[in-house]
Chains A and B, each alone.
Chain A
C-alpha cells in the first residue's frame, strides 16, 4: 500500500543537526528549565537530569532516528513496515493525532512569542512607566488578537514548510539556531554582570544533596528529560527518514540532539536567573516569567531595547523551529499516505491545525486542558508505543545491527537493546500511572475525561486503519522510486 516517494535529503550535516536540535529546543527550555532546576535542588537536580538524559533520552532518540532512517517513511508508513498492513498501523495514526493536537495549541504559544517579538521591535518595553502585566492581561483577554496571532504563526509555519526539508526547514535552522545561541550568550553575559546577579546562579546551581533522595526531584528531572527532547513523538523518526543510508546517528541524532537541547536549557539558566534575581523578581516559570517579569526587567535595564529584542527574537526562533518540526511529522505522513504533492500536504495539514487551534487561541482553559491530556498521557503513551515497536516488533537487536551502527561515528553496544526493550517502556508506564494517581484526586473530571478520550482513540484509529487496509488502493508513483 505504501509507495516510497523519492525523498529529499538533508543538504548538510550541520543543517540536519541544527534542524533536529531546533526541533527539540522550545519554550520549555527557556521558561521552564531554569525554574525547575532552582526549585528541585539546583545542582542535585542537574545530576539527576544528566543521568536520566544519558540513560533514557540519548538511547531513545538513537532508536527513533534509526528506525526512521531505516524505513525512510513517515509515522504511518513506518508502522506499516514494522507491523505489516494491518490494524496495528493505527498506532501510528494515534501518535500522528497527538502531534496535530499538540501543534494546535503550541501554535498559540508561537503566536504569543511573535506578538512579544513585535513589541520588542517597537521598543514597547522600554517606554517610561510601561506596565508589562497590563500588556499581558490585555493580550490574554483579547480573543481576536490571539486568534490573529495563531493565524500568523500558522502562516509562517506553512510558508517555511512549503520550501521543503532542505530549502525550508534546514535553511531556517542553519540561521536561527546560531542566532539563538549568540542571543542567549549575550543576554547571559549581560545578566551575570548585573549587581546581585550571583544570587540567581547560586539559586540555580547550589546543590542541595538531600533533594537527590526525593522522588519528586527524579520525577521532575525525568519529565524535563523526556518532554524537552521530544522522545517518541515522531519528530526524530520523521527527521531521521530524510537522512542518507550512511549518515551517522548515534553521535548526531542521539548524543548531540539530547545534550545540545539541554545545553540551551543551561544557557537559559544563565540568561534568565541572574536578571530575575538582580531585579528582585520572584523566580517563576511559564508565560508569567517571560512575558511579565523578564519584559519588565528588560525595560529597566540600560540598553533594554537591545536585550529585549535579543531575548524575544530568540524565544520566537526557539518556538518556531519546534512548531515546524511538529507540523512536519503530519506533512510527511500525509504526503506519503495520500501520495500527493508536498504543497498540497503542507496546505492540508497546516489548514487542519489552524482550524483545530482556534478554540485554544480563543480560550486559555482549552489550551490548558489539551496540554494536560497530551502532556500527562498522550506523549508518554506515544513514547511507549514507539519504543515497543522498535524494541519488540521490529527487534532492537536487528535495528542496532542493520541501521543504528551503519555509518556510525560511535559504536553502540548491546546494552542499548535492553534500554529500548525494558527500561524506557517501563518508565513510561510508571509516569502515566503516577500522573493518573497524582491528578485523580485533584482534577478528577479532567483526568477521567482525558483518559476516556485516549482509551477510545486507540481502537478507533486501529479501526480506521483496518478499513483503509480493506479498501482497494492503487498508489500513483510520484517521481523516482527509491528504497
Chain B
C-alpha cells in the first residue's frame, strides 16, 4: 500500500471509529451521572451556563412573544433546581451564580 493510502486509512479510522466510540462513551458516562443525580437529589439543572444565558437572552429579546410563558417556565424550573440541589450536572465554576437571581 502507498503511504498516502495508509495515512488516509488511519485518519479515517480515527475520524470515524475514534469519534463515534468517544461520543458513545462520553454520552453513556454523562447519562450515568444524570441518573446518579436523579437518585440522590431528585433532579438536576437541565441547562448548561451557556444554554441558560441563551434562554435568558431570548426572553429579554422576546418578552411579549406567545412562547415567552413556556420559556419563563423553563427558566423558573432551572432556577428552582439550582436552589434546591447542592450538586450540579454542568460545570458552573466559571459562570455567574444565578441561584439568587429574581
Whether A13 touches B16, Cβ cut-off 8 Å, given contacts A402-B74, A409-B26, is: no
Please name the residue on chain B nearest to A18 by beta carbon: B24
Classify the interface of chain A: helix, strand, loop or mixed: helix
| B92 at the A interface (CB under 8 A) | no
**Number of residues in A with C-beta < 8 Å to the partner?**
39
Q: Report B23-41 CB contacts with A as 1/0, cut-off 8 Å.
A: 1101110110010000000
| A74 at the B interface (CB under 8 A) | no
| A252 at the B interface (CB under 8 A) | yes
Which residue from A201, A247, A252 sits with its C-beta under 8 Å from B23? A252
A17–B12 Cα distance when bound, in Å, is 21
A380–B53 Cα distance when bound, in Å, is 35
| A245 at the B interface (CB under 8 A) | yes
Considering only residues 48-94 of chain B, those with a C-beta below 8 Å from chain A are 48, 50-51, 54-55, 58, 67, 70-71, 74
| A306 at the B interface (CB under 8 A) | no
Which residue from A207, A251, A397, A402 sits with its C-beta under 8 Å from B27? A251
A260–B44 Cα distance when bound, in Å, is 29
Which residue from B17, B27, B74 sits with its C-beta under 8 Å from A13? B27
Q: Measured between C-beta atoms, what is the minimum distance from A316 to chain B in Å?
A: 22
Whether A411 touches B48, Cβ cut-off 8 Å, given contacts A205-B5, A251-B27, A402-B74, is: yes
Considering only residues 7-45 of chain A, those with a C-beta below 8 Å from chain B are 12-14, 17, 42-43
| A418 at the B interface (CB under 8 A) | no
Judge whether A406 and B47 touch: CB under 8 Å. Answer: yes
A262–B70 Cα distance when bound, in Å, is 37
What B residues does A50 contact at CB under 8 A? 15
Q: Measured between C-beta atoms, what is the minimum distance from B85 to chain A in Å?
A: 13
Judge whether B51 and A406 touch: CB under 8 Å. Answer: yes
Judge whether B26 and A205 touch: CB under 8 Å. Answer: no
Judge whether A255 and B19 touch: CB under 8 Å. Answer: yes
Q: Measured between C-beta atoms, what is the minimum distance from A448 to chain B in Å?
A: 40
- Which A residues are closer than 8 A to B by beta carbons? 12-14, 17, 42-43, 46, 50, 198, 201-202, 205-207, 245-248, 251-252, 255-256, 259-260, 262-263, 266-267, 397-398, 400-402, 405-409, 411
